[in-house]
Structure 1
Amino acid sequence: MTPARGWLITGASRGLGRAFAEAVLATGDRVVACARDVAPLADLQAEYPHTLIPLVLDVSDRSAVRDAVDRAVAALGRLDVVVNNAGGLLYGMVEEATEDQIRAHLDVNFFGAVWVSQAVLPHLRAQGSGRILQVTSMGAAGGMASVGFYGAGKAALDTVSEALAMEVERFGVTVTIVEMGGYDTELFTKGITATGTLPHYDALRAELAEMWGEDSGPAPETAVPVVMELATLPDPPRRLIVGSRSYDQVQELRRARDELYRAWEPLSRQAPG
């Protein structure tokens, strides 16, 4: 019989984090589910009183993250899988965002994941094993008007996670960048911070609304089987796009960028560096 694994999941009260927690608990594994507000987890805790440990955590608070990780290890005995999922959306044009909004957004979406990664690594290194799943976005492949800071935070986490994977693989720790597609995670409702608006961008806003339409994407539960399989692979990839439609969109973005580079290759090659 395979022993139960210990999971730490941030942003576990809703959306993808909640869906991951439900799936993990159903396998018999144990979960420390972290969120700023753990009240939405009450029903899940009632169903899994012995294997679910809700933990109030603001990932932007580095000292609180270290304390939470230590408490998780004490409760579970070990950490096998860490899912850096906590995040939110700063919606608005670059010019419209305030300094406080930008810093608060990156404190959660980028620095929060870094703090969690730093806090768990001593434990994973000591046990000689462990997996870190960094939940980024297919949007990290390129910037998009009105959600530029969301993409920026995910792109920064993407880059740091590439470096982290190289740094920790010798300790038996794997890192996978999980590029999530567009799922109905309530990101555009409960997870959103909206900037003020400038009238200069009204026309663009209308164009974007028409382009995106009303489709909020499939339910987060539909992504769970892929992530659960990823978490069991003996040799997991460093990055994985989750979503068939998103896979095609990412490839299209990359092809467009390659075409742009090739179009301007003569100018690029005029410099010797």
Structure 2
Amino acid sequence: MAKTVFITGASRGFGKLWAEAFLKRGDKVAATARNLSTLDDLVEKYGDNLLPVQLDVTDREAVFNATNNVAAHFGSIDILINNAGYGLFGTLEESTEAQARAQMETNFFGLLWVTQAVLPVMRAQKSGHIIQVSSFLGLTTLPMLSVYNASKFAVEGLSETLATEVAHLGIKVTLIEPNGYATEWAGASATQTAAGIEDYAPVREAFAAAGDNPDTWGKPAATVAPVLQIADSPNPPARLLLGKIAYHGVVQAYAKKLAEVETWKEVSIAAHGH
């Protein structure tokens, strides 16, 4: 049975790739972009099955209006994929206030507004699946991405809590956590801080060297089958890591964290006081 899918940030990268994957198999898709001309090719191929929606997710009122229009147009929203976002590259100290606020406005608050707007629709349906595009950097961290890491940690906490609030309403929540992929996320879509503090030069150089390794970057097309599988699953996971870098990185990070928790176990228990 065809589904109605609402995808934000569909002008390029994962969003556009996944939008076309749903359209190819006969689903109906509402796809948002700041510039609707980026969706012209999909409109030409898929016609009325695609509803292009011009949207800046940081505009809460516009988000609610767009979501209501999508629900009225298609009659339902079965799946939300909160994909809009970008990366801010640079050290914490070199990040400006404007850059930090803009990063949180899009990656966290934009996702929050779209989620809030879709929830009344899904509550009325007593069904729905919210798929939040987080990152493996919402579970562990890399230098040079401190504010981005923080935005994704916030998405993780928000979404994990949401899942406990809506499960009894028939609404499912899944966090998708990719490692780096060969999209424009680290290129045209990214923002850079000024690199003015020489003390951070070794950190910048090590980060750049890691990025030069082609094995670091996953192939975007390889994410299509997992995303469709998640969308079709009657019992989807709370989290799905995408990519071998994400898998190994998170497993290692959690093992290290757990070991440290156990090392300080007696101090932690004593701090309870009784």
For the superposition of Structure 1 and Structure 2, which TM-score range results when normalised by the shorter chain? over 0.9
Q: Which residue of 2 aligns with 1:224?
A: 224
Who is 2:252 aligned against?
Answer: 252
How far off its partner does 1:23 sit? 0.4
Q: Measure the CA separation in 1 of the matches of 2:154 and 2:218.
A: 26
Q: Is the 8 A contact 2:218 2:243 kept in 1?
A: no
Which has the larger displacement, 210-219 or 56-65?
210-219
1:154 to 152, 155, 160: 152
Give the fraction of aligned pairs with identical amino acids, expressed as a percent.
40
Moved more, 80-89 or 214-223: 214-223
Alignment of 1:205-224 (within 5 A): 205-215=204-214, 217-224=217-224
Among candidates 100, 105, 112, match of residue 103 of structure 2: 105
Task: Give how far 1:15 is off.
Answer: 0.7
Separation of aligned partners in 2, 1:262 and 1:171: 37
- CA deviation digits over 1:62-106, x for unaligned, max 9? 001001101111111100000000000111111111111111110
Q: Which amino acid aligns with 1:161?
A: S
CA deviation vs aligned residue, 1:242-272 (integer Å, no higher than 9, x gap): 2234212210111111122233334434422
Q: Distance in 1 between matches of 2:210 and 2:260?
A: 23
Structure 1 distance, partners of 2:152, 2:218, is: 21
| 5+ long unaligned stretches in structure 2 | none
**Aligned residue for 1:265?**
265
- Counterpart secondary structure, 1:24: helix
Listed as ranges, the gaps of 5+ residues in structure 1 are none
Distance in structure 2 (CA, Å) of the matches to 1:60 and 1:32 = 18
Q: Which residue of 2 aligns with 1:25?
A: 23
Letter in 2 for 1:189: G
Paired residues, number: 271
Alignment-mate amino acid for residue 32 of structure 1: A
Name the Cα RMSD after superposition.
Answer: 1.4
Question: What per-residue deviation string (whole Å, max 9, x for no partner) do you get for residues 228-254 of structure 1?
Answer: 001011111211112234212210111
Task: Give secondary structure in 2 for the equivalent of 1:50.
Answer: helix
Q: TM-score, normalised by structure 2?
A: 0.95
Corresponding residue number in structure 2 for 1:87? 85
1:164 aligns with 162
Question: What is aligned with 2:128?
Answer: 130
C-alpha distance in 2 between matches for 1:58 and 1:113: 11
The alignment's TM-score, normalised by the length of structure 1, stands at 0.95
Q: What's the CA shift string for 1:170-207, capped at 9, x where partnerless?
A: 11111111112221121111211111122221121112
Distance 1:127 1:209 in 2: 47
Name which of 115, 118, 127 aligns with 2:116.
118
Who is 2:62 aligned against?
64
Contact residue 179 and residue 218 of structure 2 kept, 8 A: no
